[in-house]
Amino acid sequence: MNREQKSEIKIQDNKKDSLSSVPRSLSSEACVRCGSCKALCPTYMHDVTEGMSARGRVVLLNKFNDGDIEPSEALDKRLYSCILCGACNSLCPLGINITDAIYGCRKKIAKYNKKRRLLTSLLGFGLKRTNAGFSLIKFLEGINNLLPVQNILPFKIFKDLDIVLPDSPLRDSVSIFRVSKPRGRIAVFAGCSVNFLYPEAGRSLIKSLTALNYDVILPQGEACCGAPLLGLGLERDAAQLAEKNLKIFKDLNVEAVVGLCPTCIHFIKNEYIRLVGSGIDNAMEVPQFFMDKIQQAEHKRQKIDNKNLASDICHLGSVIYHDPCHSIYNLNVSSEPRNILKSLGTNIIDSDKGCCGFGGTFRLLYKELSESILDDRIKAYKNADTIVTSCPNCIIQLRSRLKNKPVKHIIEIIEKALKEEENEK
Ligand code: SF4
Ligand code: SF4
């Protein structure tokens, strides 16, 4: 059977099964090697070899799937150096889901790389037991004087990225925040980065939601969304976490499940459909949820006192909004955060768009390439006084280099604006 015949059968199969409800689910076997997907590929921009481009990866994984090539170090590097940003998916004229094809191939080749086994085992273990992992790390941090731990893996990463662990995670004990006359109920999907590294963003989200008169629920038992595990080729482990989160969030009877990390939201909404056949349909990012509400509130308030909240309260100066890859390529969110910032009177300036180079495990496995991709962002953002974004991981990556320039999550600006409104009432 030739490749075209195989592609045709695969396309028909896709239409029949549950994957047909996932956008862009055409098999990689349909690739005609046009090269359109290379145009925005961040790894190709920094290593101009075919194998480091989206098309190069598709060609290689098709050859591997057809049995034409064996697992090798070169194949491993090409597939694991993909940031999984999704830019290529948005460019393929045939609608091939390139990232899903890469996830699928990583699953098959994961076991051949012995060097990555330690990282895979540690992350696999830790991400399935995040609370216990956090307590262990805090314990080790506490006995640093007795037993120097700076050179063991998680601490090396924290030092490299200038991460200071908070005293306690966001989802510590309180799980329901009630207001007196609620207009509705919202659940928060905190995600690991916000829960364990950046809990102040989670607190800002809770305060913003209660300021708008919503009861807020942080369901007990939320697990990692599974994205890092799927990225490492551990599909079965990622699916277990998906099942757990679905059980907790699916039947909460809430208006929306709001999250501060676009990767988590893309996963629980879209990737879970492929992984376990069902996703959390009402999951949304902060800018999607808040846009209309902020614009309406600001319109009313500015009629009264004609003040620009963001520029008056937050002292942001000129702002560049950094688009997280999973927001623009997977959730189609781009105008919403800018509309929020504009309605708060922020002076937004233009810049070219691009990946920050973090990509979770990509930063750990390909640090040099990650930093080289980050260099472009630092240059592109040199004229801004403040960088605003909506992803805690982009914040970590950008802050690792931008020491004298604030990098904020948009929820921090929203919280301040809503608080000021409360004070003015
Ligand atoms: S997901 Fe991003 S890094 Fe990976 S092949 Fe596609 S464009 Fe390149
Ligand atoms: S854009 Fe689509 S068809 Fe063209 S090379 Fe990339 S994956 Fe293949």
Nearest-angstrom CA–CA distance, 45 and 142: 43
Nearest-angstrom CA–CA distance, 165 and 196: 7
Domains of the chain: residue spans and CATH: 3-112 (1.10.1060.10), 117-160 (no CATH), 176-287 (3.40.50.1860), 305-424 (3.40.50.11060)
The finding on whether 88 has its CB within 6 A of some atom of ligand 1 is yes
Of the candidate ranges 61-65, 91-95, 224-228, 301-305, the one whose mean pLDDT is the lowest: 301-305
Taking only the tens place, the pLDDT of each residue in 290-331 is: 998 887 776 666 655 555 555 556 678 999 999 999 999 999
Taking only the tens place, the pLDDT of each residue in 128-181 is: 777 777 777 766 776 666 666 666 666 777 777 787 778 888 877 668 999 999
| Phi, psi dihedrals of residue 387, rounded to the nearest 5° | -110, 130
Output the pLDDT for position 156: 72
Q: Which residues contact 85 (CB under 8 A, 6 or more apart)?
A: 42, 325, 326, 329, 355, 359
Q: DSSP string spanning 404-425?
A: SS-EEEHHHHHHHHHHHHHHH-
Dig out the tokens for 18 from the structure.
């549950």
Cut 0.85: pTM above it: yes
CA of 88 to the centre of ligand 1 (A): 6
List residues near ligand 2 (CB under 6 A). 31-37, 54-55, 58, 91-92, 94, 96, 98
Q: What is the mean pLDDT of residues 192-196?
A: 90
The residue contributing the CA closest to ligand 1 atom 4 is 82
CA of 373 to the centre of ligand 1 (A): 13
Question: Between residues 254 and 136, which one has the greater pLDDT?
Answer: 254
The residue contributing the CA closest to ligand 2 atom 8 is 31
Q: Which atom of ligand 1 is nearest to the CA of 37?
A: 7
pLDDT band at 106 (very low <50, low <70, confident <90, very high): very high
Q: What is the mean pLDDT of residues 221-236?
A: 93
Dig out the tokens for 310 from the structure.
């963001």
Q: What is the mean pLDDT of residues 183-207?
A: 93
Report strand pairing: 184-189 vs 214-217. parallel
Q: C-alpha dihedral over 167, 155, 233, 240, to 10 degrees?
A: -30
Q: What is the mean pLDDT of residues 360-371?
A: 90
Of all residues in the chain, the percent with pLDDT exceeding 90 is 63
User: Which bound ligand lies closest to the C-alpha atom of 53?
Assistant: 1
The finding on whether 82 has its CB within 6 A of some atom of ligand 1 is yes
Task: Give whole-number Cα distances, 354 to 43, 81, 232, 381, in Å.
Answer: 11, 17, 23, 11
| CA-based radius of gyration for the chain | 22
Taking only the tens place, the pLDDT of each residue in 34-68 is: 999 999 999 999 999 999 999 999 999 999 999 99
